[in-house]
Structure 1
Amino acid sequence: MNTRNWVKFFITTLCIGGAVTVLTGFIIRWKDFRPFFQSFDVLEILSSAFWLFCIGLLFSAVSQMGFFAYLTLHRIGLGIFRSLWNPVQILFLAFALFDLVYFRYRLFAAENEGIFPYLAVALLILLYGILVAYFKMKQSDKETFVPALFFMVVVTVIEWLPALRNNDPNWLQLMIYPLLVCNTYQLLSLPAYLERSQKEREERKKRKEGSGMKPLPPKKAQKV
């Protein structure tokens, strides 16, 4: 990916994270914000939206760090495990889901509280990950299903750890939705940015050839 498209990718993801956090924050804390809307206090509404947007930028930055870290991990995993990399990812996926349910239940469950709410959270994240991985598979090929599922579940849970440790319901919801949306956007839109960068390199090569300049050898776009 060239620098211009990387900047577009970065800024777009930031804006998505900020916008989703503003929307999520107003919904989950509607009781706190409702008086501002009822009295049409524009200053309070804008200041609250700005604060939520800034928090969303932070969540988006965490999402992007996790995404590029996974891209590196994926290449290393393919180099080390080769054809066994997908089974290894499935194993780690199972461990991550188990830990998300078991340790949260052991640490935060009230007396006589059932395990179902903790199990439901893990199940919903898994189902959403399967849905995104399905679209990713349709976008490219079947080999991308497991890596996409691993990223959407395991990496998202790792990125979610600050809120998981706090275990505040508002912060859990405020963080998970931007993470899921940003991770989905990055996973599904990156090939388009790579393709656009490749086309721009080819067009630049043609212009150089037309002007008599010797072009640099093209870089092969990496499949994601």
Structure 2
Amino acid sequence: MNSRNLVNFLWKTFIIGGIAGLVVSFFVKPQDYATYLSPFDFIEVVGLILFFVGLGLTFSVVSMTGFFAYLFIHRMGLNMFRSFWPTVQVLVIAFVLFDLVYFPYRAADGTVAIYWYILGAAGLLAFGWVVAKRKAKETNPKAFVPALFFMVVITTVEWVPGLQVQGSDYAWLMIVPLLACNTYQLLTLHRITKKAERKQTEGKKTSKLSKNAKASKA
């Protein structure tokens, strides 16, 4: 991947995070918008929109940081555990899903039913499973477990600040941009890489044909 493709990749991730942050705010914080819509206050509404877009942009930066950290972790895991790395990733996924249920439920001290936390963890797993299947289909079957690891484990690590805040509003405002950005990055990187490799191959073929043509003329 050249620098131009990298900048384009990061820029699109950044924009997706901002849009996702704004869209989810309409559903999570409708009362904030309602306050300034009746009576209508243009300045306050614009300020509110910019705030939630900025929040989404911030989470997109967290997502990008997590993605490049994942690439390093994956390479290190392959070097350390070799053929056992997929098994290690599955165990870590199971551990993280358990943590997503157990620790928030204990922190809530029984005020929230445990099945809500189970549904949340199951929802994250289901979403990650769908994305990982798509990744494996577009690349190779061995990519499924690493992709699921990224979508579940890395997303959860990125989501920790949102889980520590009391109430669910901030958690939703954070998880939606994270999932949107992580999905985009995971499903786009290999496409960009393949496109770059194809252009490089075509360039070599063109150069070879040009050299052959010059040699035949000589």
Partner of 1:179: 178
Q: How far apart in 2 are the matches of 1:60 and 1:207?
A: 39
The structure in which a higher percent of residues are helix is 2
The aligned residue for residue 147 of structure 1 is: 146
| C-alpha distance 75-31 of structure 1, shift in aligned 2 (>3 A) | same
Deviation of 1:37 (Å): 3.8
Post-superposition offset of 1:192? 1.5
Deviation at 1:47? 1.6
Q: Which residue of 1 aligns with 2:76?
A: 76
Q: Which moved more, 1:58-67 or 1:166-175?
A: 166-175
SS of the residue 2:113 aligns to: coil
Note the C-alpha offset of 1:48.
Answer: 1.2
**Displacement, 1:42?**
3.0
Give distance in 2, aligned partners of 1:4 and 1:114.
49
Alignment of 1:203-222 (within 5 A): none
Distance 1:152 1:45, change over 3 A: same
TM-score, with length taken from structure 2: 0.89
Larger deviation: 29-38 or 76-85?
29-38
Offset at residue 10 of structure 1 (A): 0.3
| AA at the equivalent of 1:140 | T
| Residues 211 and 54 (structure 1), Cα distance of their counterparts in 2 relative to 1, 3 Å cut | farther
SS at match of 1:79: helix
Deviations 1:51-109 (A, max 9, x none): 11111111000001111111111111111111111000000001101111101111123
Partner of 1:97: 97
The alignment's TM-score, normalised by the length of structure 1, stands at 0.87
Structure 1 stretches of 4+ moved >6 Å? 206-212
Structure (1 or 2) with the larger CA radius of gyration: 2
Task: Report how far residue 40 of structure 1 moved.
Answer: 4.5
Shift of 1:27: 1.7
For these two proteins, the number of residue pairs brought into alignment is 211
Structure 1 runs not aligned, ≥5 long = 213-224
C-alpha RMSD of matched pairs (Å): 2.0
SS across alignment from 1:160 = helix
Please tell me whether residue 62 in structure 1 is matched to residue 62 in structure 2: yes
> How do 1:11-50 and structure 2 match up within 5 A?
11-50=11-50
Identity %: 43
